[in-house]
Amino acid sequence: MSAAAIEAHDLVKTYGGKVRALDGLSFGVEAGTIFGLLGPNGAGKSTTIKILNTLSRPDSGSATVAGFDVLREPEKVRRAIGCVAQKSGVDTEATGRENLTLQGKIYGLRGQELKHRVEELLTRFRLAEAANAVARTYSGGMQRKLDIAMGLVHRPQVLFLDEPTTGLDPEARASLWEDIAKLSREDGITVLLTTHYLEEADQLAQRLAIVDHGKLVVEGAPEQLKGELFGDAIHIEFARAQTENQVREAFSRLDGIGEIRVEGHSLHARASQGATAVPGMLVALESAGLKVASVTVARPSLDDVYLRYTGRTFSEAEKGNQTMQKGAR
């Protein structure tokens, strides 16, 4: 494999002539790393996965996976990858062992090789004790582990995980994070992870691309992206909706307050020393007659990165995309 396990260039995909799911998306993934595609629901992440694993064709653009062109060499791509979709591929009426055995046979494994691989994966994902139980009796976390084990049965070079922890409780999610991290760290597998969980991207991805409306917003290591932000994030909730002009006027005599943004009841701003800046900000707001309901100060997060590059918070983007999708139906 070359240094780049995945390369996507100017991918464009439109559905029904109305919804432009991808709008010139480009990125590269280094072999043996966990790469995150982070974006709100409707950002184009799942469409990207479908193109890269040959289940969909782009309107234009190109891509290679494990060195193979997804349009000219789809069969070679499929042999080189594993894919865990948002919707589980587990047969809930079969046992865990039967699910893995069938998956292995599909990829040509037989005899002792298949048996050893199944047992290896059952042990690795802590499913050995439940191996002979039907999968419908598994918890959500156990079913997801079985999904990932099935995607690994043929030892792929690249593994696609499309929103792998959606619907899981915090404990199951943390356990799955540990398993995913080991794939890159111990096995050298390239993992492309799509997620709309900011914490998940921060926890797992060695490098990530933030996407919105099918476009690349920014790309880099999570710590690098957060480190580019100035100071601390300050979030203030007002008792009632305010305008940005009112807030800026109230802060006109304060130094060190930047990136001010007001939406309805919420104020987002940054300051070099958040804890020191807050008392003066509160006094200025009260003097201007702007009543404050709550205030929080935090170190830079990926939500702050998203806000900086898109002009809206992640939760606002999710709401906006959901509204657009409903309108397109």
Q: pLDDT tens-digit profile of 286-297? A: 999 999 999 999
Please tell me the least confidently modeled range out of 5-14, 65-74, 170-179. Answer: 170-179
Cβ contact 236:278 at 8 Å: no
Predicted local confidence at residue 307, as pLDDT: 84
Q: 321 pLDDT band (50/70/90 cuts)?
A: low
Q: Are strands 190-195 and 34-38 parallel, antiparallel or unpaired?
A: parallel
- In a 10 Å sphere around its CB, with 0-12 CB exposed, 13-18 middle and 19+ buried, how is residue 211 labelled? buried
**Average pLDDT over all residues of the chain:** 92
Residue 3 has pLDDT above 70, yes or no: no
Q: 1 pLDDT band (50/70/90 cuts)?
A: very low
Q: 152 pLDDT band (50/70/90 cuts)?
A: very high
Residue 324 has pLDDT above 60, yes or no: no
Phi/psi zone of residue 32: left (φ > 0), alpha (ψ -120 to 50 degrees), beta?
left
15 beta partners: 19
Please tell me the least confidently modeled range out of 77-86, 212-221, 222-231. Answer: 222-231
Residue 2 has pLDDT above 70, yes or no: no
Distance CA 23, CA 312 (A): 19
Distance CA 182, CA 168 (A): 19
In the chain, % of residues over pLDDT 70: 96
Distance CA 62, CA 230 (A): 37
Cβ contact 192:159 at 8 Å: yes
